[in-house]
Amino acid sequence: MIKVPNHNCLNRKVRQGRWCGFRYPDQVNYFTPETLGGMIRRSGLTLYRMRWYDRWPTNDNMYAAARAERLA
């Protein structure tokens, strides 16, 4: 299970540096739905679930589930 701030959200664009998703030094990497999916694939995992409403620009956070491929 993965939960990260949605760097592509409208709230970040409006609030800019005052966006609640900026949590330095706790959060050092920021993802859009596309970059989170790419990072999951590059790490050898499969994106199991990311619901459509997690991808919306009105959502400050994204939730995703990733899993390793089963070995035969």
Q: How confident is the model at residue 1 (pLDDT cuts 50, 70, 90)?
A: very high
Task: Report angle CA 41, 42, 45 to the nearest 5 degrees.
Answer: 45
Q: What does the domain layout of the chain look like in residue ranges?
A: 2-68
Q: Which residues contact 1 (CB under 8 A, 6 or more apart)?
A: 63, 64, 65
Q: Are 71 and 63 in contact (CB under 8 A)?
A: no
pTM of the model: 0.75
Q: What is the pLDDT of residues 41-63, one digit of tens each?
A: 999 999 999 888 878 888 888 99
